Amino acid sequence: MAVISFGSASTLETGQRRRNACSLPLHYIQILGIIVIIFLILMNYLTLCVNIPKHHWQWLSIVISSIIILPFLIAFIIITFLDPAEDAVINQSRGPKANFDRHIHQHVITNLYCNICEVHVTANAKHCSSCNKCIYSFDHHCIWLNTCVGGKNYRLFFSMLILIVVGTLFIFINSLLQFIGSFQDTSSKLSLTPYYSFDQYAVLMISSSKVAFQVLSAIVSFISLVTCGMTGYLLAFHIYLCYKHTTTYDFVISRRHNRTVDETILQFNQLGRNPNSISTETTGQSTNLSRFFPLKRKKNNRVATTQANGHNISNDSNRNQNGQVFTIEGHNRDNPRQLQVRQSTNRESCVYNSSYEGADEQNQE
């Protein structure tokens, strides 16, 4: 098994289960994130703080940085070593797990029983293919942390996002001001007093030229700004999810399902405009299509409401009785969908029956 994975998901042998973020294989994005964290922390303490002109400003910068960085490191370490799996998975023996046969089981989790972990799980649990285990109250698999985020570590994950945004914003402002100050003359209030002597700045506590300091401070500004922007976007997304009382997994599955409905309706509108493009059967016959095109829903399309038994209860049900009914089945790993679409005599398509089952297995986001 590879020590570092460069794929979107790690393929584990049967019986192997990743306990936490330190379990092999490591992900290259995880390693990149650790390098960025170490770089920004070292540059903050050993370059930016020591080049501040006044000593009281130096100590203020160190204190503010520590208030942000220390809690972040604590949260990061806990998330790294915490096992977010279901308690039943953690407590079970570490013997070899069964191979999952899709010819026998359609889904990984059936009736709250995982056919891979061979344990009963809670309602919101999902089996992560990257970690090869069921995650308690699954939210998503984070490739930056190389572990799953769920009910056991979501609050720590959310707090860590806030600390990253605040910390990188502070480092960006500090490095930008020092970068500008290095170009000012001594009469300016923004001018920097070199740490060692005239034109001798401290870079990682090593005496360096002004040019070297300017280049590194510009690099720090750029990296901290990009990190702050990316993390801020992710934080805003999770704030939205908390407001909607949903999870990343449910959000993605819902969007995927809605997109399938839109694409299905438009596919049948195209069939209505081109009746000779595909052979169709009479009412009650089905046509299987496994491919959908990324089209948007037209305004004149209507989605009919359905009951659990699949009968149309819309006001247009009587008008559509003489139309043709097609069944479309699309499979994407563990995301089976089935849509029954009625093509009415006026060539306007609507969803006649929609049945959908969420995935039991989650790949990386």
pLDDT interval class at 106 (50, 70, 90):
low
Q: For the whole model, what pTM was predicted?
A: 0.70
Least Cα distance to 303 among 294, 295, 313 occurs for 313
Question: What burial class does residue 38 get, using C-beta atoms within 10 Å of its C-beta: 0-12 exposed, 13-18 middle, 19+ buried?
Answer: exposed
* Best-predicted range by mean pLDDT (41-55, 227-241, 349-363): 227-241
What distance in Å separates the CA atoms of residue 287 and residue 320, rounded to the nearest whole number?
18
Cβ partners under 8 Å of residue 351, min gap 6: 261, 264, 265, 303, 304, 306, 339, 340, 341
Q: What are phi and psi of 253, to 5 degrees?
A: -65, -40
What distance in Å separates the CA atoms of residue 142 and residue 140, rounded to the nearest whole number?
6
pLDDT digits (tens, 9 = 90+) for 115-132: 888 888 888 889 888 888
Residue-range domain boundaries for the chain: 4-246, 255-357
pLDDT interval class at 188 (50, 70, 90):
low
Query: Higher model confidence: residue 348 or residue 171?
Result: 171
* pLDDT more than 90, % of the chain: 33
pLDDT score at 140? 94
What distance in Å separates the CA atoms of residue 136 and residue 89, rounded to the nearest whole number?
10
Q: List helix spans (H) across the chain.
A: 28-43, 55-81, 87-91, 154-181, 210-244, 248-273
pLDDT score at 24? 82
pLDDT score at 190? 56
* pLDDT more than 70, % of the chain: 61
Given a contact cutoff of 8 angstroms between Cβ atoms, the answer to whether 355 and 261 are in contact is no
Strand-pair partners of 126:
135
pLDDT of 165 > 70? The answer is: yes
* Tokens describing residue 167: 């910390």
What distance in Å separates the CA atoms of residue 213 and residue 202, rounded to the nearest whole number?
8
pLDDT of 74 > 80? The answer is: yes
